Amino acid sequence: MATVSVEREHLPVERVAGVPVDELPIGVGGTASTAWWGMTFFIITEATLFAYLFFSYYYLGSRHSEWPANGAPELKLAVINTVILVSSSAPMWLADRVLGRGRIAFFSLLLGTVLVMGTAFLIIEATEWSNQSFAPATNAYSSLFYTITGFHFAHVTLGLLMIVELLYRALVSRIDVRRPLATRNVAVYWHFVGVVWVILFLTIYISPRVW
Amino acid sequence: MATLAERLETVWEPPRSVYSTLASVDHKVIGKRYLVTAFVFLIIGGVEAAVIRAQLTHSNEHLLSPEAYNQLFTMHGLTMIFWYAFPILSGFSNYFFPLMIGSRDMAYPRMNAFSYWCFLLSGVFLYTGYALGLGPDRGWFAYAPLTERLYAPGINMDFYTLALIFLTISGTVGSINFIVTAFKLRAPGMSLGRLPLFMYGTLTASFSIIFALPSLSVACVFLYLDRKFGTHFFDPGGGGSAILWQHLFWIFGHPWVYVVVLPALSFVSMIIPTFARRPIVGYTWNALGVVMTGVIGFGVWVHHMFATGLPPMAMSFFSAGSMTVVIPSAISIFVWLATIWQGRVVPTTSMLFALGFIFLFVIGGVSGVVTAATPFDWAITDTYFVVAHIHYVLAGINLFPVIAAFYYWLPKITGRMLSERLGKWNFWVMFLSFNLGFFPMHISGLLGMPRRIFTYPAGVGWDTVNLITSIGSYIFALGVLLFVINFFWSLRYGARAGDNPWDASSLEWATSSPPPPYNFDVIPTIGSRDPLWEERLGMGKRSSIHEGPTLAGPGKETLQTSTLDGEPVAILRMPEDSIWPFIVSLALLAAFYGLVASVWGLALAGGILTLFGVHGWLWPSRAAVEA
């Protein structure tokens, strides 16, 4: 038993700063929640990490007259992947919406759709890697190409694991229907992964074509 | 009917066991662990410094081989800069954030525990390498290409990259925790304008970490890949660039300088008003100055790279940018001086350390201004002048405020006063020997002594200054020992502190010493910047410390308030103790051992265990889902 605070006269009050204590909710949802704030700052620091990766790409590129030396990478698969990943944000957004109305089956269906689309993205990405004529250790450009796409690949994988976790929770009825904090966080993270891909696409696939 | 204190006690204080030790999420327990662990790292780094000084006392000394010396100075730098200077500040912030803002815990108590375990285990990981004779040996800023596999073939530098990546996990989650706690969990009425200045230092440092640490992570990942998998990020032969390492490292490195000093500055902004017996002068100026320093810190990294042959225009720009740091620093100094000038000073040990810090801050600042000038920097780069500067900055602006903070806040943590008589000895021994030891380093630098040489020939005129430096540093170590003695003495013989031994104005002094597990029996309401001084400042009784909502529900509860004004928003249910943060950090440790030794199976197993650990950690209770 630790030492107890000095005994004082406690006068518990019903109002705090003008607000009746009884009327305060237990926890809050949405952007006021500490959960949302935590995810937001996590995304900010991860976005910064990608910013430094892109900085390295442009920095090394600026020191070469030909960048990349063998021309810009093939567009076809990357365009397909862009369409898949960006459009997968729609079912994710909708899943977040319908959960609050208690439509668990529809919610699971939508999450399953995101899961399939995300997995397709990963498979296409891996195919593209195997199609390349260079390996990570070929030169500085190839090192950057694989590391940047690899970091993004890992982030998509993490997002898919989060989605699997949500589906499992829905299956065993441990999903937070009344205040969907976890789902909202996964959705925010998933949109973030899509935005990073768009910047990655512009950097690696488009920028060598415009100058 | 149990009293309020008893009811809160049953909710907040778990029965003691091995499990509760490993699973504790109490910010005070974690804060104390941070303080003790970081102080142990300070002592380890200090012992390493003592061996370095023994080697440098005379010319042609061969106590150490050059290889052993390389590992030693690298470990000294890493230990002090990464495993002491920042974590010790996190320790104070962890312990005092909730107490200063009238909350019962941090926003994410389990993340807090996780942050500590990652800090501890990353240090264990680093020292595993050193114990095996494979410690990092290319300096704490590890310039490429010297660190590439071709020039550093052992796994020494793999311990460097991986230990730092492990540590960035700790720093990142810790910083997010500080930010959200400060913005969301303040007592009602504590608007941002009433935030104790303590918080501004840690908040600014936390934002700097969010934006700066990813740069270190990227640099370390690149170096790791270069070394293990033959990529070419820093290899000019393969189209990479060694200068890229310097950019990435210093984009992180300079903000980090402010990360390890700004919270310490804000400790002083709490201590000086208490012992000048008046509220701080220029509260807003001080707060804005700290934030400005953090912002400018991101625009000055190139001043570490003046000798790399960058375009003159870039160097002029960064030289001028670096000098603007003078403005917010000078604001802080004049705020403290004005507070002292306007007050009636009580010369306690804590106050002496704070005053000594101001003196050292000015010297370290002046040697910083001159090194920001490119031509001067060229003359003294890679000499002991730079070593003198970094020690005035890191020891002067970090260690002195930290010792001041220990004398000031240990009575709150342990409930016992430290000896003032021994404390005065402690201060004068440390202050005089610090200047005796480190000031001559400026001179050895101006005499042309390069840094990081394991010995030097006789007859070049460096013997005397080095002897003086060694003597000074040994007396300085004695000074730190006096503090340790004082601490243990106080635990046994120190006078009882009582709630508010210094008659200070901020909220942490309104609860008992040591505080109960739930911090405050009622959630206070705040009406001014100095809640405990209101009546004597003639502003009437605005705050309400002992009356308020009790939040003594069936589980742990605290209050969430609005971000800017601190108006009540909701009652927060706080998580119970959890073993998962410890398990996840152990899994990460296993993964890092696998990565350093190229045992990929172990790395994979650690990674999978980490994922399962996170699953267990986040698994919602039935009550949480149905509530």
Give per-residue pLDDT as tens, A90-137.
999 999 999 988 899 999 999 999 999 999 999 999 999 999 999 999
Sign of CA dihedral B53, B220, B290, B321: positive
Does position B624 have pLDDT exceeding 90, yes or no? no
Q: Residue B183 — pLDDT band, cuts 50, 70, 90? A: very high
Q: Which residues from B are below 8 Å from A36, CB to CB? A: none
Considering CB atoms only, which of A8, A12, A137 is closest to B550?
A: A12
CB contact under 8 A, A41 and B176: yes
Comparison of pLDDT for B552 and B326, the residue scoring more: B326
DSSP state of B399: I
Give per-residue pLDDT as tens, B148-176.
999 999 999 999 999 999 999 999 999 99
Q: Residue A7 — pLDDT band, cuts 50, 70, 90? A: very low
Q: Which residues from B are below 8 Å from A25, CB to CB? A: 570-571
Q: How many CB atoms lie within 10 A of CB B240?
A: 27
CB contact under 8 A, B239 and A11: no
Does position B2 have pLDDT exceeding 80, yes or no? no
B573 touches chain A (CB under 8 A): yes
Give per-residue pLDDT as tens, B241-286.
999 999 999 999 999 999 999 999 999 999 999 999 999 999 999 9
pLDDT at B372: 87
Q: What share of chain A is helix, strand, coil (3-state, %, to 5)?
A: 70, 5, 25
Q: Which residues from A are below 8 Å from B229, CB to CB? A: 136-137
Give per-residue pLDDT as tens, B33-85.
999 999 999 999 999 999 999 999 999 999 999 999 999 999 999 999 999 99
Helix axes B400-414, B27-56, angle to 10 degrees: 140
Q: Which percentage of chain B shows pLDDT scores above 70?
A: 100
Q: Which residues from A are below 8 Å from B615, CB to CB? A: 165
- Residue located via tokens 């007592």: B187
- Residue located via tokens 């002496």: B352
What residues of chain B, 244 to 273, have a C-beta less than 8 Å from chain A?
Answer: 244, 247-248, 251
Does position A5 have pLDDT exceeding 50, yes or no? no
Given a contact cutoff of 8 angstroms between Cβ atoms, the answer to whether B46 and B477 are in contact is yes
Q: Considering only alpha carbons, which residue of chain A is nearest residue B244?
A: A56
pLDDT at B166: 98
Distance (Å) from the alpha carbon of A89 to chain B's nearest alpha carbon = 24
Q: Which residues from B are below 8 Å from A32, CB to CB? A: 569-570
CB contact under 8 A, B172 and A165: no
**How far apart (Å, rounded) are the C-alpha atoms in residues B380 and B448?**
8
Neighbour-count burial of B309, counting CB atoms closer than 10 A to its CB (0-12 exposed, 13-18 middle, 19+ buried): exposed
The encoded tokens of residue B228 equal 């293990």
The answer for residues whose C-beta is within 8 angstroms of residue B347's C-beta and 6 or more apart is: B275
The answer for residues whose C-beta is within 8 angstroms of residue A95's C-beta and 6 or more apart is: A107, A110, A111, A114, A183, A187
Comparison of pLDDT for A115 and A31, the residue scoring more: A115
DSSP-derived pairing of the beta strands B547-548 and A11-12: parallel
Q: Which residues from A are below 8 Å from B4, CB to CB? A: 10, 12
**How far apart (Å, rounded) are the C-alpha atoms in residues A155 and A149?**
10
b/e A94-124 (16+ beta carbons within 10 angstroms → b): bbbbbbbeeeeeebbebbebbbebbeebeeb
Considering CB atoms only, which of A32, A59, A139 is closest to B239?
A: A139
**How far apart (Å, rounded) are the C-alpha atoms in residues B498 and A113?**
62
Alpha carbon B328 to chain centroid, angstroms: 20
For B497-553, the DSSP string reads --S-TT---SGGGGS-SSPPTTS-SS--B--SS-TTTTTTTTS----BSSEE-----
Considering CB atoms only, which of B225, B248, B517 is closest to A147?
A: B225
pTM value? 0.95
b/e B130-156 (16+ beta carbons within 10 angstroms → b): beeebbbbbbbbbebbbbbbeebeebb
pLDDT at A16: 65
Given a contact cutoff of 8 angstroms between Cβ atoms, the answer to whether A205 and A75 are in contact is yes
